[in-house]
Structure 1
Amino acid sequence: MAEFSTPTTEQEFQLNFAQLKPHMNRTEALYESSRCLFCFDAPCIKACPSGIDIPQFIRQINSGNDTGAARTIYEANYFGNACGKVCPTEVLCEGACVYNLQDVKPIEIGRLQSFATMQAIEQNKKIMRPGEANGRKVAVIGAGPAGISAACELRTLGYEVDVYEAKARPSGLTVYGVAPYKITNEETLAEMDYLQGQLGYRVHYNSPITSRAELQALEHKYDAIFLGIGLGRTSELGLPGEDRINVMGAVEFIAELRQHHHEVAVGRKVIVLGGGNTAMDAASESARLGAEDVILAYRRGKEEMGAYEFEYDLAKGVGVKGLFNVAPVEIVGNGHVQGVKFVRTETADGKVREVPGSEFIEPCDMVIKATGQAKQTEFLGLIEGLKLDAKGRIVAGENGQTTNPKYFTSGDAMNGGAEVVNAAAEAKATARAIHAYLQ
């Protein structure tokens, strides 16, 4: 029996995908901010990849200075509102809160962060402005967290900035790849409109860069180029039957769900392959779309999964079942998927080993592969002198400068895949490195 009924209207979809971190009202924000101890040498700041002065913005909220709080946040992280909702605060700032040492509920830092930034967005408070024009121009390829953060910081330094985005909307995985119960499209796009209105960079949508000639044109026109391209499609597993109908990648599934909501259909029994956070999202989303049975299949043990514990708990909470120490061998069916053939595994000396003669078939009518994303090596191969490592990641120095000195990068294309906050923080630092290089 399904935990959720299949949503057939937008209202039913919103009920099934209710926000995990709903917006606070002013009374809630004042109460929660009053609980903060305003620690000296606060561990929450150290745990934040973007180094937001968390006690400072919480104190500002508590004193009624919401605009000041938003300024404190945005000075450190241009994705302030989004990160308040999509960051794994449970293991970052809130996980570091000193209240955890006393078995007291930690401060809801993420929700307070979103409260302050949303006030600024809704009231269009002017808290950021471009720097004095310096006559130089930078191109940014990709309008995801890294690209937009780099564009914002470059504008504060006086650069003219053009962002080239292949898709029709900005913010990358924040609008195309994050589960709908973490943040809505409307919230994400409102922050993007706010940033662009504040700082005045230009975004060229539906403008993929796909040829060496296009890159040469950018190289001629701009003083530097920032690569914020992220990662590509879900990686292929190379399994027999992987091309059967109703087998899809988790990245593509989530993107479809974010854009089309209740119009997306799932199978009655769904098997999700993988053990990372994306697998947890795909499994939880399948259950919320009305799947009667959702199985999370992972080749190692439960304790070896890459997902955060709270993400697995969230999936279990909506009825997802775990199937561990199994590796997919084949996706079986006749045109449509009808099941997955697994072999049982065991881990010895850190290595996964198949157990001979232990194959079995788990019936299903849909398979979602949450097995990582491919690197965009085909595009990157168009850039002269650009080196990639053995895993297809862009090789760059600590300042984000690549082996082609005109190109800089940060975010998933360089680190191989991390959180939105990491991309935002890295890109801001790289933008300053571009400034230093051009000076």
Structure 2
Amino acid sequence: MSNTPFSDGIQAGRLSSAELSENFGDLHPRYDVHEALVAADRCYFCHDAPCMTACPTDIDIPLFIRQIATGTPEAAAKTIFSQNILGGMCARVCPTETLCEQVCVRETAEGAPVEIGRLQRYATDVLVERGAHPFVRGASTGKKVAVVGAGPAGLSAAHRLALHGHDVTVYDARAKAGGLNEFGIAAYKSVDSFAEREVDWLLKIGGITIETGKKLGEGLSLDGLKAAFDAVFLGIGLGGVNALGVEGEDKDGVEDAVGFIAELRQAKDLTQLEIGRDVVVIGGGMTAVDAAVQAKLLGALNVSLVYRRGKDRMNASEFEQDLAASKGVRIITNAAPKAVIGNGAVREIEFEYTDNDLKPTGQSVRLLADQVFKAIGQTLVGEGLPTLERGKIKVDETGRTSVEGIWAGGDCATGGDDLTVTAVAEGRDAAEDIHAALRAD
């Protein structure tokens, strides 16, 4: 980081373009051929591979690593894409350290797993960069399916439906497809417009039309979609952000972390993106870590991530927590927001310390803050939706909702754990059930 003097308040250009370019470089650069072969050689190719069981999309991990080891990365990529059509992005953003790599036999025996995520990225990048699409669309069925939401779940469903020969129209509220892959993850995890390029590559299957700027409830209705299409899949994500519920939350400088991340991801020039001197991020998940780390990388002098529970209860993985600490983010746990203090704009934020049961201890602390990012969870937004359960669309194991002809998956539905890879699996599986239902008609 630079030693450039910092000014008070929220401002742009705290660091130079060169410094920002270095700070936001690829977190895990892709293996070269030799590195990939060496990494693949560490795999035991287990018959009952625990890594496969831990993968939400059930990728045949030993097979694709063996294919890399034998010099056929394109074949490895097809093995991956047959289960996870967004395998390139998942290789970048998946918490592999708590999924496939955590149960790797090498991890159990040596504390150093096979780097499955980086091997997956190597294989998928090779195929995507060569431009070819590994699958051929089936003969047209004459059936039409609407997919609402062009995020991981919606794109996964759309691709699998198109593969089976159905005509798919994908609607999305934003101006660009991709959902959280495009707007909701840290910029250093997906560089060089990869999310956009991956969508373009996915669409080469054919049979998929994407219409942006179309939002459910604003020009689109479920009744209208049901009437116009043979089936509907909802992958609308979670559009609302939870409130802190404390005095002063409406002061200037208190913002949503998801909005900050989206703005950063779409920024053409990071030197024009404003950031505070003293930044406080409230939350304990991946979004909180992404916001905190990126605030630091943009040049904030002091960044604190504050979570109301203990460190062991944070949804962000240990790897992500360590990454934040390594970038200079201060992590404070067992502290709940109590009040935002300032005259019009935030100047401090007060937290009250809690015990393990979230009961106040009577002790509090004030942190200087000219910018506060809320990352305390998102909520489902929409009217006239199928039956809800715990604030999400209730679905069965195949993604069927309470309304005949409507399926759902991803963050908006009850089935998953709010991971990109899980959303991909749910979109794929719902598409297979939609396909079965349409064939039976």
State TM-score, norm by structure 2.
Answer: 0.93
Q: 1:208 aligns to what?
A: 215
Distance 1:77 1:33, change over 3 A: same
**CA distance in 1: counterparts of 2:417 and 2:191, whole angstroms:** 22
Distance 1:102 1:3, change over 3 A: farther
Q: 1:309 aligns to what?
A: 318
Map 1:416-435 → 2, pairs under 5 A: 417-435=417-435
Amino acid at match of 2:372: V
**CA distance in 2: counterparts of 1:213 and 1:87, whole angstroms:** 32
Quote the offset at 1:228 in angstroms. 0.4
- Alpha carbons 1:162, 1:203 under 8 Å: kept: yes
**CA distance in 1: counterparts of 2:4 and 2:169, whole angstroms:** 44
- Alpha carbons 2:68, 2:123 under 8 Å: kept: yes
- Alpha carbons 1:167, 1:206 under 8 Å: kept: yes
**CA distance in 2: counterparts of 1:200 and 1:142, whole angstroms:** 17
Q: 1:396 aligns to what?
A: 395
- Alpha carbons 1:269, 1:366 under 8 Å: kept: yes
- Alpha carbons 1:128, 1:199 under 8 Å: kept: no
Q: 2:51 aligns to what?
A: 44
Q: Answer yes or no: is 1:140 the counterpart of 2:147.
A: yes
- Alpha carbons 1:400, 1:409 under 8 Å: kept: yes
Deviations 1:92-115 (A, max 9, x none): 111121111222522111111111
Deviations 1:362-405 (A, max 9, x none): 221111111001211xx2x224xx2111x310011111111111
SS in 2 for 1:161: strand
- Alpha carbons 1:212, 1:382 under 8 Å: kept: no
Q: Which shows bigger deviation, 223-232 or 11-20?
A: 11-20
SS in 1 for 2:262: helix
Q: 2:277 aligns to what?
A: 268
Q: 1:374 aligns to what?
A: 379
Q: Answer yes or no: is 1:81 the counterpart of 2:80.
A: no
Q: Answer yes or no: is 1:198 the counterpart of 2:205.
A: yes
Distance 1:330 1:189, change over 3 A: same
SS in 2 for 1:280: helix
Quote the offset at 1:324 in angstroms. 2.2
**CA distance in 1: counterparts of 2:119 and 2:58, whole angstroms:** 16
Q: 1:150 aligns to what?
A: 157
Q: CA RMSD in A?
A: 1.9
**CA distance in 1: counterparts of 2:19 and 2:41, whole angstroms:** 36
Distance 1:160 1:3, change over 3 A: farther
Distance 1:4 1:204, change over 3 A: farther
Distance 1:334 1:423, change over 3 A: same
Unpaired runs of 5+ in structure 2? Answer: 6-12
Deviations 1:110-162 (A, max 9, x none): 11111111111111123112111111100000000000000001011111000
**CA distance in 2: counterparts of 1:360 and 1:318, whole angstroms:** 23
Distance 1:372 1:212, change over 3 A: same
Quote the offset at 1:32 in angstroms. 1.5
Aligned length: 429
Q: 1:353 aligns to what?
A: 359
Q: Determine which of 53, 65, 79 is the counterpart of 2:60.
A: 53
SS in 2 for 1:336: coil
Quote the offset at 1:237 in angstroms. 1.6
Quote the offset at 1:8 in angstroms. 4.8
- Alpha carbons 2:253, 2:372 under 8 Å: kept: yes
User: How many percent of aligned residue pairs carry the same amino acid?
Assistant: 42
Amino acid at match of 1:235: N
**CA distance in 2: counterparts of 1:209 and 1:10, whole angstroms:** 39
Amino acid at match of 1:275: G
Q: Determine which of 307, 312, 319 is the counterpart of 1:298.
A: 307
Quote the offset at 1:301 in angstroms. 2.3
Q: Determine which of 254, 257, 262 is the counterpart of 2:264.
A: 257
Q: 2:10 aligns to what?
A: none
**CA distance in 2: counterparts of 1:94 and 1:227, whole angstroms:** 31
Q: Determine which of 336, 340, 344 is the counterpart of 2:345.
A: 336
- Alpha carbons 1:2, 1:287 under 8 Å: kept: no
Quote the offset at 1:7 in angstroms. 6.1
Amino acid at match of 2:370: D
SS in 2 for 1:295: strand
Amino acid at match of 1:430: A
Distance 1:199 1:92, change over 3 A: farther
- Alpha carbons 1:30, 1:61 under 8 Å: kept: yes
SS in 1 for 2:378: coil
Q: 2:227 aligns to what?
A: 220
SS in 1 for 2:233: strand
SS in 2 for 1:115: helix
Amino acid at match of 2:319: F
Quote the offset at 1:303 in angstroms. 2.6
Deviations 1:61-101 (A, max 9, x none): 12121221111010000111001111001111111211112
Amino acid at match of 2:299: G
**CA distance in 2: counterparts of 1:52 and 1:318, whole angstroms:** 33
Distance 1:4 1:65, change over 3 A: farther
Unpaired runs of 5+ in structure 1? Answer: none
SS in 1 for 2:346: strand
- Alpha carbons 1:247, 1:366 under 8 Å: kept: yes
**CA distance in 1: counterparts of 2:105 and 2:400, whole angstroms:** 38
- Alpha carbons 1:231, 1:417 under 8 Å: kept: no
